[in-house]
Amino acid sequence: MNKPAGILAWPAYATREGNPYNYILYSNIEKKGYKVHEFMFTPRFVLRALLFQNYKILHIHWPSSILSYSNHFKASLRLILFRLFINTIKLFNKKVIWTVHNLEAHESKNAALQKKMYSFLYKKADGFISLNRDGLKIIKEKAASAGRQKFCYIPHPHYRGYYPNETSMEAARKQLSVPAGKFVILFIGQIRTYKNVTGLIRAFKELDLENKYLLIAGGVHPEVRDQLFKEAEGLDEFQLNEKFLPDSELQVYLNASDLVVTPYSNIFNSGSVFLNLSFNKPTLAPALGIFPELREVAGPQYIKLFSGKLDSGQLLKSVVEVEAESDIVMQPDLSSFDPDHVASETIAFYEQFL
């Protein structure tokens, strides 16, 4: 192959502000000579993709996003058009690769249509990428033909060097007016039902720890807002910043914390845990999805697991461990998640279809 093929990425760079995963992946792919074209499922991008044919591969990430925020009629129409688009580009011998970030959509709106979309892609996609090793088996079971289709594990890249990280713990806590001597537990990210932030608040309220302090930072989705504020009502040693955090402020909250908690009730992959690890912060997470295998790589100092429902006992166990390990000065080995390595692995998978 003399000239690297064009890649149509859905999305490529459009989501950089909210989630830089794609930006990091595709900017490193372009450094290696591949041309990456932005794609969104809108008439303009669809027409361009059909007319200009300047790509060999369509790489899909979160397809159900086109169904999540529509009424049933609009979502049904979009699904019909999506199927038509995929079938059409495959007539022109374009290959479809799907990075399966989620086994099912997080929100339940138009759930039946989302299942139909996923079923369609499991039949039509030529290749599948799983961000965790255990997920490969699940994806293969759902796919149409293990003989015709190809499967690959490629990890999520880390964020070291991407976000500013210059603020000390002391300076961060001063900026947030966190009292001295506190053990700070943090949740950071969008607050949605499946993330179980209300469960974290309940466990924190029952936590038998004199110097406890809870920080929660991130936009609150409407469906969980009333429950969240009701759970937090009258809670001392607690601070909520209900807004989307710009890149420059992430370091303040992460560096102010002792332990980051991802209290999810259901999870397959997580980008946020790589943010925590990139700031050398230990994470308490459910023993689900990516987390058990990530614990094997990053080590039990940085990935702590809870089983079943998060409660104060499991929270306290992690607090005690973090305090006991606080004198250990080291960073988790994230070399397996280096963005350049992830880009090379992705290109190697692309080349199986060219």
Which pLDDT score, from 0 to 100, does residue 3 have?
A: 65
Kindly report the number of other CB atoms within 10 A of residue 273's CB atom.
23
Average pLDDT score over residue span 124-132: 98
**pLDDT reading at 324 higher than 80:** yes
Instruction: State the number of CA atoms in the 13 A half-sphere of 112 facing the CB.
Output: 4
Q: Which amino acid is at 205?
A: K
pTM of the model: 0.94
pLDDT digits (tens, 9 = 90+) for 61-72: 999 999 987 899
Which pLDDT score, from 0 to 100, does residue 1 have?
A: 45
**pLDDT reading at 2 higher than 70:** no
Average pLDDT score over residue span 74-98: 97
What the block records as the tokens of 311 is 């409660």
Q: Do 286 and 199 form a contact (C-beta atoms < 8 A)?
A: no
Average pLDDT score over residue span 148-159: 97
What is the pLDDT of the chain when averaged over all its residues? 95
pLDDT digits (tens, 9 = 90+) for 201-226: 999 999 999 999 999 999 999 999 99
Q: Do 173 and 256 form a contact (C-beta atoms < 8 A)?
A: yes
Percent of the chain whose pLDDT exceeds 90: 89
Q: Do 214 and 185 form a contact (C-beta atoms < 8 A)?
A: yes
Q: When comparing pLDDT for 189 and 105, which is higher?
A: 189
**pLDDT reading at 252 higher than 90:** yes
**pLDDT reading at 101 higher than 90:** yes
pLDDT digits (tens, 9 = 90+) for 326-353: 887 679 999 999 999 999 999 999 999 9
- Please report the domains of the chain, with CATH numbers, ordered by start residue: 6-157+338-353 (3.40.50.2000), 169-336 (3.40.50.2000)
**pLDDT reading at 107 higher than 70:** no
Q: If we measure between CA atoms, which residue out of 156, 333, 165, 180 comes closest to residue 249? A: 165
Average pLDDT score over residue span 285-310: 96
Q: Do 182 and 213 form a contact (C-beta atoms < 8 A)?
A: yes
Q: What does the alpha-carbon distance between residue 257 and residue 92 come to, in Å, rounded to a whole number? A: 52
**pLDDT reading at 232 higher than 90:** yes
Residues 6+ apart with CB under 8 A from 84: none
Average pLDDT score over residue span 257-261: 98
- CA 295, 298, 300, 306 dihedral sign is negative
- For residue 59, the SS3 value is strand
Q: Do 150 and 352 form a contact (C-beta atoms < 8 A)?
A: yes
The DSSP H or E segment spanning 58 is: strand 57-60
pLDDT-derived band of residue 268, with 50, 70 and 90 as boundaries?
A: very high
